[in-house]
Structure 1
Amino acid sequence: MSDPRFTTLIDQVRTGAIDRRTFLARSFALGISAGVAGSVLATTVAAQDASPAASPAAAGGLSPENLGVEGVEHTTDTSKGNINIYSSWPLSGASEQIGGDSVAAVQFAVDLWGGAAGGYSITYEALDDGIAANNGAWDATAEANNATQVVNDAEAMAYIATYNSGAALASIPITNEAGLAQISPANTAVQLTKDNPANEEGYPEVLYPSGTRNYMRVVPADDLQGGASANFAFNGLGAQTAYVLHDNQTYGEGLATVFQTTYESLGGEMLGFEAFNPEAPEYLALATKIANVAPAVVYISAIVNLNASKLLQDLRDVMAPEDTAIMGPDGLINQAFI
């Protein structure tokens, strides 16, 4: 925290010159760890909340008084000790906005309840499992290291992770052996929790060496998303032919496979199914090859960090919107993609 630029950011967020998301984004750009930035935010919010004008309840917004179970009073007692909760997802590159927003959302929830629950104080720390030099894309080693750090914390109660399904493959076995609850706000790969003919052999059981499930997710899996996308393409758009591109990762390939299977079962014709190279400088040759078979729809099954924006641009250079629709999954719901 000796960087004068970071000191300036701290002053700005404490005086309200910048908001919390901007503070996090600029802190990460300076190389400040999520833990340090998060701790500054926590103390800042606590100081701001000491003023009634800054209180959500005073503003008529969310508060412990109008959340939770009716008739159950929220207690701010912390006499029983401390509980740590952690999160882990990419926080830089193409993931800077959605990662930073997610950190701010968790911190907001903790602050909203006064950093206390069940007689314990609640401390939150955000970890980064992405590689800035790789446009913020997740990294299996980084994720495994994060999970190991958390399970070795005796005060850790929950691990909010991961954003990317492939990263979950690295951490679930670690948290499972330790008996630590892992909750994902975004993982969609089928094999993380469900038996499916498309799964690699042994999944999902191989992820749970203890024999007891510890992992949960709060979003639908790709057997629903991929199927819904295929149904929309065939029945909604009336697209009789399709070409599928995927990023060759757990999420992208798995979702693409579900799309393909469902689309063909509906009567659609698959003109191509292949992985694209995320490190390629351009995709004009690939785009031209696809344009030559004239699919009614192209489905890009990928995450935004893996050059999907460039792929879309090159596809559009040779295929007009009125001739070919281009679709993508939730992995592309990101301002950086736009």
Structure 2
Amino acid sequence: MAMPGAAIAAAAPSATQVVKIGFSAPLTGPQASAGADNLGGMQMALDRLNAEGMTIANQKVSFKAIVEDDQGDPRSGMGAVQKLIDMPVDVMMGPYNSGVVIPTSRLLDTAGIVTMTVASNPKITEQGYANLFRVAPSDSQLGGKMGLYAAKELKVKRVAVVDDRTAYGQGLAIEFAKVAKANGLQVVGMEYTNDKATDFNAILTSIKGKRADAIFYGGYAPQGGPMRRQMKQLGMDMYLLGGESICSPEMGRLGGANVDEKVYCARAGGELNKSPEAKNFAVDYQKRFQRTPEVFAASYYDAMMLMGQAMKAADAVSGPKLQAELVKIKYQGVMGSYEFDPQHNLKDTPVTIFNFQKGLPTPISTY
């Protein structure tokens, strides 16, 4: 006969389980600042979850980040993600770049690892992977809203479109051009560069000859800042438009005073100066890392907190039970509300338009 104490002992929580959170992003190279920004946001959420404490499946858990540098490159990304799968990690935050997410998402889904990404190319969720969730707007939303704003508010008539040939940049540029044309803008040229480029004079000289009112750039701040500086050197005092990945203080650091009020960008969700929670996040991030949160720090924070809530509700740190909980979850975070549609895109994704003032992106309108 079992002793009464044995049942009590069996019901008591056992030793702490370490929940391994995989993270893949560019931590070296031109996009290292974005990778560090993302990691900082996620780490703040892990610190909070660990401080609050959580018991799952009758076991105390602690959260630990397992970090890989994918350099923002699809080939490097495949190796980085495979290392995390082999470990294995329990869940995955990232990758960051669309060009890395598209090939690695199949590996993660096959391994049954629930994954959250901010990557925006529409193809990501169109693949139909059950374990993949997007926690930021898609290119259709970001590029489309910037196209609408250019037509309706900036009254642009002629625009040149440049992309960096990444899955992110191309997707964003295509969506912008589609909406721009639908709203009466004339696209006078479709040019391309790459995500390592530093010299844009040939492209800009060609665009100058086409008498464009604006340039839309589908790409990242490490190219956007120098592009704006070279525009000014060529006497091209026109609008420079882009998506969330130029919506960063890094634009000002790289382009200096040239990054001015004629530089506009579209970015996800709420503004980091509206709610008390948002203000607190920005202050705490600055205090912790001695830098201003950039584009996705708050999104990674929200995504990790959302994941923690789903784990608690599912009573599981990975696998089908966690996935099923995310499908139906509703969560209010720093950047807004989170709820997924059948393709695992966010249902409600307002987009805020920013321009630059004193080298910093400043919110001006929500679309």
Range into which the TM-score falls when normalised by the shorter chain: 0.5 to 0.7
Task: From the superposition, tell whether residues 78 and 165 of structure 1 become closer, same or farther in structure 2 (CA, over 3 Å).
Answer: farther
Match of 2:226 in 1: 310
Match of 1:83 in 2: 19
- Whether contact under 8 Å (2:140, 2:175) holds in the other structure is yes
CA positional deviation for 1:121? 2.7
Quick one: which of 219, 244, 253 aligns to 1:330?
A: 244
Tell me the amino acid that sits aligned with residue 140 of structure 2: D
CA positional deviation for 1:270? 0.9
Task: From the superposition, tell whether residues 114 and 283 of structure 1 become closer, same or farther in structure 2 (CA, over 3 Å).
Answer: closer
Task: From the superposition, tell whether residues 108 and 286 of structure 1 become closer, same or farther in structure 2 (CA, over 3 Å).
Answer: closer
- Whether contact under 8 Å (2:82, 2:107) holds in the other structure is yes
Match of 1:134 in 2: none
Task: From the superposition, tell whether residues 289 and 217 of structure 1 become closer, same or farther in structure 2 (CA, over 3 Å).
Answer: same
Distance 2:67 2:138 in 1: 25
Match of 2:64 in 1: 123
Q: Confirm or deny that 1:297 pairs with 2:208.
A: no
Q: Deviations over 1:280-305 (max 9, x none)?
A: 55222321211111111110111234
Match of 1:38 in 2: none
Task: From the superposition, tell whether residues 98 and 253 of structure 1 become closer, same or farther in structure 2 (CA, over 3 Å).
Answer: closer
Match of 2:7 in 1: none
Percent of matched pairs sharing the same residue: 20
- Once structures 1 and 2 are overlaid, which stretch shifts more, 278-287 or 308-317? 278-287
Distance 2:216 2:137 in 1: 19
Task: From the superposition, tell whether residues 80 and 284 of structure 1 become closer, same or farther in structure 2 (CA, over 3 Å).
Answer: closer
Q: Deviations over 1:97-130 (max 9, x none)?
A: 3322322322222222226532223222222111
CA positional deviation for 1:93? 3.8
Quick one: which of 164, 171, 182 aligns to 1:254?
A: 171
- Once structures 1 and 2 are overlaid, which stretch shifts more, 170-179 or 105-114? 105-114
Distance 1:159 1:124 in 2: 10
Q: Secondary structure at the match of 1:107?
A: helix
Distance 1:277 1:143 in 2: 18
CA positional deviation for 1:279? 4.8
Task: From the superposition, tell whether residues 152 and 278 of structure 1 become closer, same or farther in structure 2 (CA, over 3 Å).
Answer: closer
Distance 1:227 1:280 in 2: 26
Task: From the superposition, tell whether residues 281 and 304 of structure 1 become closer, same or farther in structure 2 (CA, over 3 Å).
Answer: closer
Q: Secondary structure at the match of 2:245?
A: helix
Q: Deviations over 1:216-257 (max 9, x none)?
A: 111111111111000011111001111100001101111111
Quick one: which of 192, 208, 230 aligns to 1:275?
A: 192
Q: Residues 111-260 of structure 1 correspond to what in structure 2 (within 5 A)?
A: 111-114=47-50, 116-117=53-54, 118=56, 119=59, 120-130=61-71, 138-154=72-88, 156-184=89-117, 186-194=118-126, 204-205=127-128, 208=129, 213-260=130-177
Q: Confirm or deny that 1:100 pairs with 2:33.
A: no
Q: Secondary structure at the match of 1:300?
A: strand
Structure 2: gaps (5+ residues): 1-12, 253-367
Normalising by structure 1, report the TM-score.
0.65
Tell me the amino acid that sits aligned with residue 157 of structure 2: Q
Normalising by structure 2, report the TM-score.
0.60
Q: Secondary structure at the match of 1:176?
A: helix
Match of 1:66 in 2: none
CA positional deviation for 1:309? 2.5
Distance 1:274 1:282 in 2: 14
Q: Secondary structure at the match of 1:313?
A: helix
Distance 1:229 1:179 in 2: 36
CA positional deviation for 1:176? 0.8
CA positional deviation for 1:182? 0.8
CA positional deviation for 1:142? 2.0
Q: Secondary structure at the match of 1:238?
A: coil
Q: Count residues with an aligned counterpart.
A: 235
Tell me the amino acid that sits aligned with residue 110 of structure 1: L
Match of 1:24 in 2: none
Tell me the amino acid that sits aligned with residue 326 of structure 1: L
Match of 2:328 in 1: none
Supply the RMSD in Å over aligned alpha carbons.
2.0
